[in-house]
Chains A and B, each alone.
Chain A
C-alpha cells in the first residue's frame, strides 16, 4: 500500500502520480484482512468454535459475499470487521491497521468509516426518516447545514425523496432498508457491511435492494461485504464469494467459478435450490444399462470456459433441458441433451457426462 491513503468521499485522486487520470488511481481505502482469525464462544453447552483459522483479504472496491448455513460463523466474521464482536484469536486489519488495539475513541472513528445494514433494518421508531439518517452526523458533530445537505444527498441516492418526515412504521420493508442504507452511507464510509440485508424482503424488493447496492458500489467505489444464506443473492451482486462451513473456509473464489465448479459439498448443497433437476419424464425413465435403440442422456456443464459450439448440438441431438446464465460475463449452467448411442459424449465437450439412457420411442 502506498502512503496515499485517501480519506473522504467522493474519493479524490489523493497524491497519485499526475500522469494517471484520477479514476484509474488504485484506491487503498476499504481493504479488510483476516489473519488467523478465530472465535470461541462459551455457551451453556460448553465451548463453541464459531470461527477457526480464517486467512483472507477483501480487496478495496469489491463486493465480497460470505455464504454459509446458519451457524456457519458468517455473522461473527462480518461483525469482527467493525468489532461489534471481538475475535478470540488472530487479527483483523482494516486498511492495514490492526483494529484490536483501538480504544473507545479509535473504535468510534473506525465505525464511522464502516457502514452497516441489518436484516431487520434496526431503525429508530421514535425518529423520522430524516432524523434516522442524520443521526450518524449528529453524533459526529457535523454542522447542521452540511448535515442537512448530506442527508438530502443520500436520500436522493437511495430513492427516498418525499419520505423525509415519515416514521419508519409507515414504510414498506424495502423502503426501511433504503433508510438503513442511507444511514450507513451518510458518513461516507469506505466499507459497507450487509448483515442478511435482504433476508426479510420479498424477491422483487430483494432484487431492487441488490441493484441499489451494486449501483452504490459502482458510483461510490466503496467495498461491500455481505452475508447471506441465499446463493441467488451472491450471484446477483458479488464479485467473489467465501463459503463458510462450521467456522472454516470451505472455498473461495470468483462467483462464476464457484457457481460453475463448486468444489465443496457445502457449496453444492447451497447451490442445490438453484439447480433444476432433470425433467421428470426423463428422470423417471432413466436407466443405466442401455437397451437396443435407447438414446443417451448427456449433460453438458457450462463452466464459463469451455462452452461447446452450438453447431455440435445440431447433429441429431435433442435438447431436453437448458439452464445457462451469465455470471460476471461467463455462461454458467448446464445443457441436457439426448444423443444416439455410439456418440462419444467427449466429442461434444471435454466436460460432458453421460447420465444414463432412455427409450427413444416417446
Chain B
C-alpha cells in the first residue's frame, strides 16, 4: 500500500470516528429524554399523557421505518438548513443522528420499562416527586440496559456511516467503495474491513465491560 493510501485510510478512519461520535452524542442527548417521555407518558407511567405518547410513538416508528440510505437523501433540504451544506462529514452527522436517535430511544425505552414498578411505588412512598423518580429510580436502575443499548446503537451507526460516502462525507465506507470496489484494489478493501472489525470489536467489548461492571454490584 502506498503512503498516500495509508494517509487516505487514516483520514477516512478519523472521519468515520468523528461522524459516529458526533451522531452518537446527539443520539444520547436526544434519545434518552425521548425514551423517558415515551415511558413516563405511557399508560401507567408517572406523567400519563396518552396523546403525546401516541404522537411520539408514531414519529419514532416513522423514522425507524425509513432505510438509512433513503433518509440520507430525503433529509438533504433539512441538512442544508442545519449545516449550510449537503456534503462532508457534518452533512452526514445530521441524517445519522436523526436515524440513530429513534433507534436508541426505543432500546432505552425497553430498559426503562423493565424497571420494577415496586421501585417506583417505594419511591412514591418516601415522598419522591415525579422528577425524582426519573432522576433517582428510572435512569440509574435502567443504566446497564441503556449502556448495552447504546453499544448496539454505536455499532449499527458505524455500519450506517459507510453509506455517508453517498453525500461525499468520506469515511471508511467511502474509501472502500471508491478504491476497493471501483478500482479493484483488494488490499484497500481488506484494510477497511480489518479496521471496521477492530473498531466494532473495541466498541462492543468496552460496552459489555461497562454493563458487566454495573450489573456486578
Complex alpha-carbon distance, A169 and B215, angstroms: 10
From residue B103, how far is it (CB to closest CB) to chain A in Å? 25
Question: Known contacts being A108-B127, A124-B141, is A169 close to B217, with CB within 8 Å?
Answer: yes
Query: In chain B, what residue has the closest Cβ to A110?
Result: B127
Chain B, 111-144, CB within 8 A of any chain A CB:
116, 118-119, 121-129, 132, 136-137, 140-141, 143
A122 part of interface (Cβ distance < 8 Å): yes
Chain A residues whose C-beta falls within 8 Å of the C-beta of B214 in the assembled complex = 126
Query: In chain A, what residue has the closest Cβ to B122?
Result: A122
Q: Tell me the interface secondary structure of chain B in the complex.
A: helix
Complex alpha-carbon distance, A114 and B126, angstroms: 8
Residues of A within 8 A of B (CB): 82, 84, 104, 108-112, 114-116, 118, 120, 122-127, 135-136, 138-140, 167, 169, 183-184, 187, 193
- Can you list 30 pairs linking A and B with CB atoms under 8 Å apart? A84-B124, A108-B127, A108-B129, A109-B127, A111-B124, A111-B125, A112-B127, A114-B125, A116-B126, A118-B121, A118-B122, A122-B116, A122-B118, A122-B122, A124-B137, A124-B141, A125-B141, A125-B217, A126-B143, A126-B214, A126-B217, A135-B123, A135-B126, A135-B128, A135-B136, A139-B128, A167-B217, A169-B217, A184-B125, A187-B126
Question: Known contacts being A120-B118, A122-B119, is A127 close to B140, with CB within 8 Å?
Answer: yes
Complex alpha-carbon distance, A136 and B124, angstroms: 10
Interface bin, chain B = 20 to 34
Question: Known contacts being A104-B129, A136-B127, A139-B128, is A84 close to B136, with CB within 8 Å?
Answer: no
Chain B residues whose C-beta falls within 8 Å of the C-beta of A127 in the assembled complex = 140
Other than the given A84-B121, A111-B127, A116-B122, 18 more pairs (CB < 8 A) read: A84-B125, A111-B126, A112-B126, A112-B127, A114-B125, A115-B125, A116-B125, A116-B126, A118-B118, A122-B119, A124-B119, A126-B141, A126-B214, A136-B127, A140-B127, A169-B217, A184-B126, A193-B125
Chain A residues whose C-beta falls within 8 Å of the C-beta of B121 in the assembled complex = 84, 118, 122
Chain B residues whose C-beta falls within 8 Å of the C-beta of A136 in the assembled complex = 126-127
From residue B31, how far is it (CB to closest CB) to chain A in Å? 20
